[in-house]
A and B are shown apart, each in its own frame.
Chain A
Amino acid sequence: QLQLQESGPGLVKPSETLSLTCTVSGGSISSSSYYWGWIRQPPGKGLEWIGSFYYSGSTYYNPSLKSRVTISVDTSKNHFSLKVSSVTAADTSVYYCARHTNAYYFDYWGQGTLVTVSS
């Protein structure tokens, strides 16, 4: 059974960099069949795709966040990471990692982790 688990600090100061990791079990992030991505949801609001990567090394970002986002991969640990720089209160959200195919819909999700941006 595929499982995804987000981890990282729950509190980040304004202007600093948010860093999260998604650890995948029950499947390989090196699979040629799937992409792995990040989605966020501000408290009480809707969902926003942040970006994704493919095992070949390609990364894809939402243009609305592209200048501040980096997704990286550690295949030896079967995990991938998200960095969002220069955060503000508007970046306060539950962050989810998820799997998708080349059709960008998300069939497996992590449980999500709340990141609050506050001094």
Chain B
Amino acid sequence: DIQMTQSPSSLSASVGDRVSITCRASQGISNSLVWYQQKPGKAPKFLLYGASRLESGVPSRFSGSGSGTDYTLTISSLLPEDFATYYCQQYYSTPPTFGGGTKVEIK
């Protein structure tokens, strides 16, 4: 199985801050990466696929980048509704595997 490692596991930030979350795969995944946002008690919400392609309706302050084994989710200017836990997931091979999550908290 491909192991996905996210960092940091948590971060504190303020409204308006630029935030970046990193996801590293144990082998190259050719941009077969998605990001989800999860709020407490809710299902994950699909944000981006193909490492950098925004799902329809997702605000443009979210962006993704990366290649090979290393990928980044960036939120350009945090809004109150962005405080949540973010997960990456590879779909390069089965089983699909998820990162451990990054909790974005209010400073």
A residues sitting closer than 8 Å to B (CB atoms) are: 46-49, 60, 62-64, 96, 98, 103-107, 109-112
Contacts and interface: CB of A to CB of B under 8 A. Distances in A.
B43 A49 contact: no
B46 interface: yes
A112 B49 CA distance: 22
B62 interface: no
A106 B95 CA distance: 13
A12 B96 CA distance: 27
A107 B91 contact: no
A51 B44 CA distance: 17
Interface string B66-94: 00000000000000000000010101001
Interface residues of B, number: 22
Nearest to A61: B95
A47 B98 contact: yes
Question: Closest 4 CB pairs between A and B?
Answer: A109-B43, A104-B96, A105-B34, A47-B98
Contacts of A48: 98
A46 B89 CA distance: 11
A104 B94 contact: yes
A111 B95 contact: no
A109 B94 CA distance: 19
A105 B89 contact: yes
Contact of A60 (B42, B94, B101): B94
